[in-house]
Amino acid sequence: MSPFRGRSLVPTFPENSGTPEDRDKNASLIDPEIILESLEEGVLAIGLDRKILYMNKAAREMLSVTPGQEKTIDCQKALKSSSCQTRCLLEKTITTGETIRNHEITIFDRSHRIRTLRVNTALLKRPDGELIGGVEIFHDVTHILALKEEIKGRYSFGRIIGRSQRMQELYDILPIISNGKSTILIEGESGTGKELVANAIHESSSRKEGPFVKLNCAALSEGVLESELFGHVKGAFTGAVQSRPGRFEIASGGTLFLDEIGEISPSMQVKLLRVLQEEEFERVGGTHTIKVDVRVIAATNRDLKQAMEKGEFRKDLYYRLRVIPVTLVPLRDRKEDIPLLINSFIEKFSLTTGKEISGISPEAMGVLLNYSWPGNIRELQNAIEHAVLLSPGGIIDLKHLPADITNNPEENRAPENIVETSQPLRKVKDDMIRKTLEMTGGNISEAARKLEIGRSTLWRRLREMDHG
């Protein structure tokens, strides 16, 4: 017999469903087990001896258990999950009283395919409070996770995220330029993700097994920067009590990322040019020539061409660095990427804070879409971290966003051409479809190819757009 049978469970009926006496009569005819058997979520209850007390229809289907079989097996044999081999989630809940929420486990279904279940647990008690076991509620998220991975693959490269045309162009070129040794210059405003791009290039190159070494050139004085780049020998200067390799030596066989390269002095520009051309150098205070095999990726938020024309940056070094140029556009010029970035940051900070943030309100999304983002992606990430910390859980709202973003009514007026109050993400997608059709002159097949979706999918979405 189900441990839930016979318990009082009175549902709410519409006001016009009869007299209070009728409603009480109807409610008394409903067995709680009927409701449990109707759920799409799996429900599994076990006793203190780990024997299964109850398993609803959805649980039996997910776990490939035939009706009646649950009476002869324990929960470990039913779940067949790797978590059962370490520590049973229900046992942990029963032992500590701590409920577990949104824990993912993997199982094998009857076709021996791996499935992912998202699990919640709770204590099972009698009406008088006596503990008799635990309850596990779970649902299959295999398809959801697969869809996330598909979206991630389509709209990301490494840890870079974006679906805009400019980002798609970047994804197309990164695999091509990743392999090889040519120097790359990444240009873009502060906060646009230059280090992420450099790291993605390294991770997708044949040098990925080698080190990825980074150095911010603007953070160091000229003397310290020279020692950091090339190393020094013992006694080269006051405080040099032992010899030390520089970043070029450490990065040999891998990639050296030089951020804010536009800030180095003219004398350092000469020394760097020599290393790039000859692939050799001497440590500070040393005479021994050291040869290295390093790929250099440099980045700057300055207009180096303008600095070169003013005589502030060497022309020969500029062209030596800019063998392969990569330009990152500011976030204000690719606002269709903002919803994807927001979702990614919400997921990231929900995990680090332990909060369950399910999304963002249309009003808050409208403000974030219309903000100019002078600090680019870094500022957006900080804003979402701020919002997650202030939010008690659930939906991020306007009151959770930083004041300097919400305190400009004119700038934060909802953008009509980007966000629709009720469904901002769908509005972004619809606008992209319209723009792509304009680019292709109404050619459905070509538009579907550019959008990387099926032709029938595009036709279906167009019909939905026509009907509102």
In CATH terms, 151-329 corresponds, of 3.30.365.10, 3.20.20.70, 3.40.50.300, 3.30.750.210, to: 3.40.50.300
Residue type, 131: L
Give the pLDDT of residue 188: 95
Q: What does each C-alpha distance from 200 to 207, 257, 274, 368 come to in angstroms? A: 11, 12, 27, 27
pLDDT digits (tens, 9 = 90+) for 39-49: 888 898 888 88
In CATH terms, 332-422 corresponds, of 1.10.8.60, 1.25.40.80, 3.40.390.10, 3.40.50.1980, to: 1.10.8.60
Closest CA to 62 of 111, 100, 99: 111
Residue predicted with more confidence, 198 or 144: 198
CATH class, 425-466 region: mainly alpha
Residue predicted with more confidence, 11 or 314: 314
Q: What does each C-alpha distance from 309 to 216, 272, 274, 312 come to in angstroms? A: 24, 20, 21, 8
β-partners of residue 218 are none
Q: How many CA atoms lie within 13 A of 444 on its CB side?
A: 10
Residue predicted with more confidence, 454 or 322: 322
Spell out the SS3 assignment of the chain.
CCCCCCCCCCCCCCCCCCCHHHHHHHHHCCCHHHHHHHCCCEEEEEECCCEEEEECHHHHHHCCCCCCHHHCCEHHHHHCCHHHHHCCHHHHHHHHCCCCCCEEEEEECCCCCEEEEEEEEEEEECCCCCEEEEEEEEEECHHHHHHHHHHHHHCEECCEECCCHHHHHHHHHHHHHHCCCCCEEEECCCCCCHHHHHHHHHHCCCCCCCCEEEEEHHHCCHHHHHHHHHCECCCCCCCCCCCECCHHHHCCCCEEEEECHHHCCHHHHHHHHHHHHHCEEECECCCCEEECCCEEEEEECCCHHHHHHCCCCCHHHHHHHCCEEEECCCHHHCHHHHHHHHHHHHHHHHHHHCCCEEEECHHHHHHHHHCCCCCHHHHHHHHHHHHHHHCCCEEECHHHCCHHHHCCCCCCCCCCCCCCCCCHHHHHHHHHHHHHHHHCCCCHHHHHHHHCCCHHHHHHHHHHHHCC
pLDDT digits (tens, 9 = 90+) for 320-340: 999 999 999 999 999 889 988
Q: How far apart are CA 42 and CA 189, in angstroms?
A: 50
pLDDT digits (tens, 9 = 90+) for 2-32: 555 444 333 344 444 455 555 555 555 567 7
Q: What angle do CA 127, 130, 131 make, to 5 degrees?
A: 115
Q: How far apart are CA 78 and CA 88, in angstroms?
A: 12
- Listed ranges 7-16, 81-90, 233-242, 384-393; the one with the highest mean pLDDT: 384-393
Angle between helices 165-178 and 194-203 (to 10 degrees): 40
Q: Which fold has domain 39-140?
A: Beta-Lactamase (3.30.450)
Residue 272 pLDDT class (50, 70, 90 cuts) = very high
Give the pLDDT of residue 467: 57
pLDDT digits (tens, 9 = 90+) for 104-140: 777 766 666 677 888 888 999 888 889 988 898 988 8
CATH topology match: 39-140 vs 151-329: no
What's the average model confidence in pLDDT over 83-100? 73
Q: How far apart are CA 12 and CA 31, in angstroms?
A: 14
Give the pLDDT of residue 358: 82
Domain ranges of the chain: 39-140, 151-329, 332-422, 425-466
What's the average model confidence in pLDDT over 245-267? 95
Give the pLDDT of residue 78: 62
Residue predicted with more confidence, 412 or 182: 182
Percent of the chain with pLDDT strictly greater than 90? 41
Question: Residue 229 above 80 pLDDT?
Answer: yes
Long-range contacts from 163-168, C-beta under 8 angstroms, 24+ separation? 163/336, 163/337, 163/340, 163/432, 164/334, 164/336, 164/337, 166/329, 166/333, 166/334, 167/334, 167/337
Check if the beta carbon of residue 428 is closer than 8 Å to that of residue 419: yes
Average model confidence (pLDDT) across the chain = 81
Other beta carbons less than 10 A from residue 320's beta carbon? 17
